Chain A
């Protein structure tokens, strides 16, 4: 007769194995792998710069920039009530010396306001030689990492030269690269040896795994007799010994280091920057994505409440920039910087002070496909977002967030 429970259990195991084995390798990483709506409607980064792209071990690099928390936040993504500014680098090539958000230390986690803009600054110190693609990164609790623009940076020199010295509150200078390392190794070895000895002892004490299971079934109520009085005593000694060592080590550590601060358990609140729109208002009238042409076309109703005529110079979303070179010029910082240098065109000209006008904008580039933003058309609501940069005659910039639903078209 078929043992149904056992058959179901094995079927589940086989199904799990099939799914696990079928998992195809990831063909992208970082900026391309996240869903288009997530990249366009959560955190929008701009003005991100690095102080240098080539440095030696022990030299410092400063990354600066701004980010805007998009007003039309997706309902299925946790809001940034608890977030931490970070830098995404493959491996410990740098150590972070300091970070600031609107000039406030970013050591602690922070809560941010939707619809607000902040500026950041992160100071890093080169630790080991490598060529890495580094990103600004915001870790949002329950939402995950929101990735900013990346830059290729090369570190040269020798890792053995690296030092990371700090002075503690008590005036002691320590090197964080090696501080406490010997102690950590000592305790790992200590517990590893005990665990291995305990495991080996039981491996050689009679049957194990399936044979032991069968023996237990065979002995029934007398199965406890398999454990000898000596083994029970040994178990008790191990239990008491472990508890004594753990308690003693805790009090010893507390005695040596009476003041410790768990940094990431704190949370600070940082006021946002003043409104970057500076009196310019832009509403989305309609939008469509021209599939074969790789072009987003939208109509904006723009009201200029400033004292100078304004024109559109740039549209940015998902760390990709579409430039209108007649107004604002930018070149790719490196081979992986997605800047469409001539990707933005619009009809309608300048918007005069006090005027409200419709502007027809098109943002064209292969990046819609190669950076997987076009996948947006398969979303249930196909909503997009981004920042439009207006410039007045003196080059002063107004940054306005726009967004809404778009329709895919083929003609």
Chain B
């Protein structure tokens, strides 16, 4: 039984970090790593979800807004190019998601924001996704003597599979409670030895 509890606890504590390629969900923030630099990644679908923020995958089709906020000030002095390429499959969920593919980069992008400097530290990308599909995003930052590329696959119009994030912890907790209750129901009550005269 304790192995089961340990496994559940490990599941609980392993929710700190996940992501697709360059985009990582760290704690409660979605971050995009480009070489040594870090940006905050925020996805919005205001027509469907008001102010809810998404981390890479967009659950529905329609008007979508991606905002990149530069955490490292140096990025404000560099050009940023954002391009999205159509893909045939969803993110693998492995390290391969982040591997830059030159053949992909050579393709005509689905849409692109040409390289430009963003002195306010915020890059806003608006796009209307009319049909669901899988995509690969590329963010290319270029300074005087440096250039870094980040790749992140994402999907549009595919609701998240499996157990919703908000229910994972309550369900895990429920199972822990049930297992503990069953364990106690199986045990006989402890009886102390009677005092011998």
Q: Which residues of A contact B (CB under 8 A)?
A: 1-3, 6-7, 10-11, 14-15, 17-18, 21-22, 24-27, 214, 217-220, 291-294, 332, 335, 340-343, 364-367, 369-370, 377-378, 408, 410-411
Contacts and interface: CB of A to CB of B under 8 A. Distances in A.
A408 B44 CA distance: 13
A16 to B, nearest CB: 12
B195 A10 contact: no
Contacts of A343: 120
Find the residue from B5, B69, B181 having the highest chain A CB count within 10 A.
B69
Contacts, number: 106
Nearest to B75: A366
Interface string B22-38: 00001111000000000
A214 B42 CA distance: 60
Contact of B121 (A25, A366, A410): A366
Interface residues of B, number: 40
B27 A27 contact: yes
A292 B46 CA distance: 10
Contacts of A367: 121
A15 B190 CA distance: 23
A190 B187 CA distance: 48
Closest 4 CB pairs of A and B: A366-B121, A27-B27, A366-B69, A410-B46
B73 to A, nearest CB: 6
B87 interface: no
Contacts of A377: 51
A24 B180 contact: no
B67 A27 contact: no
Contact of A410 (B44, B73, B180, B195): B44
A335 B189 contact: no
Contacts of A342: 119-120
A370 B124 contact: no
B181 A294 contact: no
Judged by DSSP, the binding face of B is mixed
Given A214-B192, A366-B121, A27 B73 contact: no
Given A15-B177, A24-B27, A27-B29, 15 more contacts: A10-B184, A11-B180, A15-B176, A18-B173, A24-B15, A24-B16, A27-B26, A219-B195, A292-B67, A293-B122, A294-B120, A335-B73, A343-B120, A365-B121, A366-B40
B92 interface: no
B85 to A, nearest CB: 23
A18 B44 contact: no
A25 B13 CA distance: 10
Interface in B109-148: 119-122, 124, 126
A97 to B, nearest CB: 33
A220 B26 contact: no
B122 A25 contact: no
26 contacts: A1-B189, A7-B180, A11-B177, A14-B176, A14-B177, A21-B12, A25-B16, A27-B26, A27-B29, A291-B51, A291-B67, A293-B124, A294-B122, A341-B119, A364-B120, A364-B122, A365-B120, A365-B121, A366-B40, A366-B69, A366-B71, A366-B120, A369-B67, A378-B51, A410-B44, A411-B46
A18 B12 contact: yes
Contacts of A410: 44, 46, 51, 65
Given A218-B193, A367-B121, A21 B67 contact: no
Contact of A292 (B5, B124, B180, B192): B124
A370 B121 contact: yes
Interface of B: 5, 9, 12-13, 15-16, 26-29, 40, 42, 44, 46, 51, 65, 67, 69-71, 73, 119-122, 124, 126, 169, 173, 176-177, 180-181, 184-185, 189-190, 192-193, 195
B160 to A, nearest CB: 20
A34 to B, nearest CB: 15
Contacts of A218: 192-193, 195
A369 B27 contact: no
A2 B186 CA distance: 8
Given A21-B13, A219-B195, A365-B122, A294 B51 contact: no
Contact of A340 (B16, B44, B120, B126): B120
B169 A369 contact: no
B122 A27 contact: no
B51 A408 contact: yes
B95 to A, nearest CB: 22
A27 B26 CA distance: 8
A408 B52 CA distance: 12
Contacts of A15: 173, 176-177
Given A217-B192, A410-B65, A369 B51 contact: no
A335 B76 CA distance: 12
